[in-house]
Amino acid sequence: MKGLIISGKFGEIRVRQKHGEQIELGELLIAENKDSKILMQAYDLEYGSQLSQSNLELVSGMKIEEDTDMEFMDEKIRSYTIALLKNLITITKKPHSSKALPDFFSEVREVKKEDLSFLTKPSNPLFVGNLRSGSKQLDFGIFLPGEKVFSHHILISATTGRGKSNLASVMLWDLLGKDYAGILVLDPHDEYYGRNRFGLKDHPSENLIYYSINPPPGAFTLKINIRQIKPSHFNGAADWSDPQKEALSAFYKKFKEKWIEAIITEQDTGSKFSEGTIAVIRRRLLNLLSLDFVDRNIICNGIFDVNSGLSTLNEICMNLERGKMVVIDTSIFSGNVEILIGSLISTEILNKYKHYKNSGELEGKPVVSIFLEEAPRVLGKEVLEKGQNIFSTIAREGRKFKVGLTAITQLPSLIPREILANMNTKIILGIEMQPERQAIIESAAQDLSSDSRAIASLDKGEAIITSNFTRFAIPVKIPLFEEFAKVDERKETKNSFEGINLG
């Protein structure tokens, strides 16, 4: 027994903690009624005492000033901790959201694995960690319904260093063994593949495809032909003024897929654009695409090429459509170039999936998710005020076409509320800044209004998952990637985790 329910109201149940026991913030507790169990969670703690305030002051005064202990009552009875709990779910034959209080004066105890046997493994399970009660980890794997959560977008949010990348690695490792999802990872820190250390490349499956500008053996060289770029691909990646945008469209209209070459070689559209405008877009294109124009030749210094790279986008999309994972090392590019690459692939895949929807082929295709670090770069309010881009389009309507985002950010408050609300699954790790917590809490699938403090005090790898596809906000502990993957690697069957269905 951990304590006894003594007062309170719905969503604010007060429990007196038993002497010698300790209830932690975030701990899961069970109260047993006659024909149901109620699962609850501690969200706040305070002191309680049998002594009046003036007696407390007297006793402390004697202790401080006279160094004498005044014993009023048995210590166990005299002072204690009060824990405030909220209901998560009522467990009966058919578990349902709680609408009643547990019995007055009922005992509360620790949650046990058996209490949660109503939860079974969903189809296309995505492993995210183990159930957590306060800081204790339970031997109980948490699986989300992978296909659904990916098409309805995932937001992973935390202060720097709390384990966002580690969580992404765990999810990606789990995904490599499955083919219900095609995953595109734009990796600005080149941290997932494991070029010089243990990483996704060490997974036994052959589902991983890695592109880099300097690929290790077995990986692919990233080359994209400039004729595949359209002006709209720059949305989010480059900030053009209105006259500049008009000039880009005019070139595209006249020269079709050779429009970039036409700008660089200074051809004429027939429309009147100022020389300054053309000079600026020309310079910026050369710069963004790492091109030079020497002796009337276009020299390609980066991944964008005039001759090669015509099939790259198509190959990447084909692999995504086969449920494979494509990791792109964008570590040496500027943020704008990374976004441009992401936007080229994302536009292509969304268009393909739109086409499949029209032709009735979408059903048989794997869901596609695009993993994106520092998501406010393309989904931020300031960026979107200047115009939509492919990522905001996917955030708004991608789920209809089975294309979703897995957005990673330290600063969710920069993302407009409407888009945050569209991200139906949020994995919240420790967030120190109040406005950031607030942005997440306000757009969460479950009521987290009393969890701000719990979110602030989450340690590395501790998270809360709130989702339209879970019954309640689930506290989890994410394993450390290397430990998780090395154990998993040794397992013969990949699906031998204990699972639960949260749908």
Of 45-53, 117-125, 162-170, 293-301, the segment contacting ligand ATP by CB under 6 A is: 162-170
Measured from the Cβ of residue 28, the count of other Cβ atoms closer than 10 Å reads: 24
Give the distance, in angstroms, between the CA of residue 267 and the centroid of all CA atoms in the same chain.
45
Q: What angle do CA 30, 34, 36 make, to 5 degrees?
A: 50
Write down the least CB distance from residue 196 to ligand ATP, Å: 15
Q: At what angle do helices 275-288 and 242-255 cross, to 10 degrees?
A: 80
Return the structure tokens found at 408: 């990673």
Contact characters 333-372, ligand ATP, x per CB under 6 A: ----------------------------------------
Q: Which does 502 bind (CB under 5 to 8 A by kind): Mg ion, ligand ATP, none?
A: none
**Residue nearest to ligand ATP according to CB distances in the complex:** 461
Of the candidate spans 2-10, 103-111, 317-325, 478-486, the one that interacts with ligand ATP by CB under 6 A turns out to be 478-486
- Closer residue to ligand ATP, CB minimum distance, 192 or 234: 192
Q: Are strands 425-428 and 154-157 parallel, antiparallel or unpaired?
A: parallel
Q: Looking at 17, 165, 312, 467, which residue binds ligand ATP (CB under 6 A)?
A: 165
| CA separation for the pair 481, 202 (Å, rounded) | 12
- Binding mask 165-184 vs Mg ion (x if CB under 5 A, - otherwise)? x-------------------
Instruction: Give the nearest distance from C-beta 462 to ligand ATP in angstroms.
Output: 8
The answer to whether 162 contacts ligand ATP (rule: CB under 6 A) is yes
Whole-angstrom distance, CA of residue 406 vs CA of residue 155: 6
Q: Please list every residue from 113 through 152 that binds ligand ATP, using CB under 6 A.
A: none
Q: Which of 343, 326, 147, 157 is nearest to 236 (CA)?
A: 343
Structure tokens, 38: 């109620």
Tokens of 335: 């943020």
Cβ atoms within 10 Å of 468's Cβ, excluding its own: 12
Nearer to ligand ATP, 164 or 437 (CB): 164
Q: Is 161 in the site for ligand ATP (CB under 6 A)?
A: yes
Q: Which stretch binds ligand ATP (CB under 6 A): 47-55, 114-122, 209-217, 475-483?
A: 475-483
Which CB sits closer to Mg ion, 305 or 373?
Answer: 373
* Residue 410 interacting with ligand ATP (CB under 6 A): yes
Closest to 325 measured CA to CA, from 423, 206, 243, 245: 206
Site for ligand ATP in 232-261 (CB under 6 A): none
User: Residue 410 binds what, of Mg ion, ligand ATP, none (CB under 5 to 8 Å, by partner type)?
Assistant: ligand ATP
Q: Is 478 in the site for ligand ATP (CB under 6 A)?
A: yes
Size of the site for Mg ion (CB under 5 A): 2
Task: Give least dist CB 373 to ligand ATP, A.
Answer: 7
Q: Cβ(445)–Cβ(479) under 8 Å? A: no
**Per CB under 6 A, does 158 bind ligand ATP?**
yes
CA distances from 325 to 52, 59, 201, 225, 467 (A): 64, 66, 11, 22, 24
d(CA 146, CA 178): 10
Stretch that binds ligand ATP, among 33-41, 47-55, 322-330, 474-482 (CB under 6 A): 474-482
Write out the E strands in 256-317: 291-294, 297-300, 304-305
CB of 161: closest distance to ligand ATP in angstroms?
A: 5
**Cβ atoms of 477 and 462 closer than 8 Å:** yes
Nearest approach, Cβ of 170 to Mg ion (angstroms)? 13
Residue 422 binding partner per list Mg ion, ligand ATP, none, with a CB distance cut-off of 5 to 8 Å that depends on partner kind = none
Would you say 197 or 283 has its CB closer to ligand ATP?
197
* Greatest CA separation for the chain: 97
Which of Mg ion, ligand ATP, none interacts with 478 (beta carbon under 5 to 8 A by kind)?
Answer: ligand ATP
d(CA 278, CA 229): 18
Comparing every residue's Cβ against Mg ion, the nearest one is 165
CB of 428 to ligand ATP, least distance (A): 12
Amino acid at 171: M
Q: What are phi and psi for residue 137, nearest 5 degrees? A: -100, 130
Residue 148 or 164: the one with the smaller Cβ distance to Mg ion is: 164
Window of 72-80, 112-120, 163-171, 282-290 that interacts with ligand ATP by CB under 6 A: 163-171
Q: Which does 102 bind (CB under 5 to 8 A by kind): ligand ATP, Mg ion, none?
A: none
Alpha helices in 113-232 (DSSP H): 146-151, 164-176
- Measured CA to CA, the distance from residue 200 to residue 327 in angstroms comes to 10
In whole angstroms, give the CA distance from residue 326 to residue 132.
32
Please give the full DSSP string across 304-329, using - where no structure is assigned: EESSS-SSHHHHHHHHHHTT-EEEEE
Restricted to residues 427-466, the positions that interact with ligand ATP (CB under 6 A) are 460-461
Question: Shortest Cβ distance from residue 489 to Mg ion (Å)?
Answer: 23
Q: Which residues are bridge partners to 15 per DSSP? A: 5, 83
Task: Determine how many CB atoms are found less than 10 A away from the CB of residue 202.
Answer: 16
Task: Convert 348-387 into a string of H (helix), E (strand) and C (coil).
Answer: HHHHHHHHHHHHCCHHHCCEEEEEECCCHHHHCHHHHHCC
CB of 408 to Mg ion, least distance (A): 7
Number of residues this chain uses to bind ligand ATP (CB under 6 A): 14
Residue 371 backbone dihedrals phi, psi, to 5 degrees: -85, 125
Closer CB to ligand ATP, 158 or 264, in the complex: 158
Contacting range for Mg ion; rule: CB under 5 A; set: 158-166, 234-242, 464-472, 474-482:
158-166
Q: What is the contact surface with Mg ion in residues (CB under 5 A)? A: 164-165
Q: What is the contact surface with ligand ATP in residues (CB under 6 A)? A: 158, 160-166, 410, 460-461, 478-480
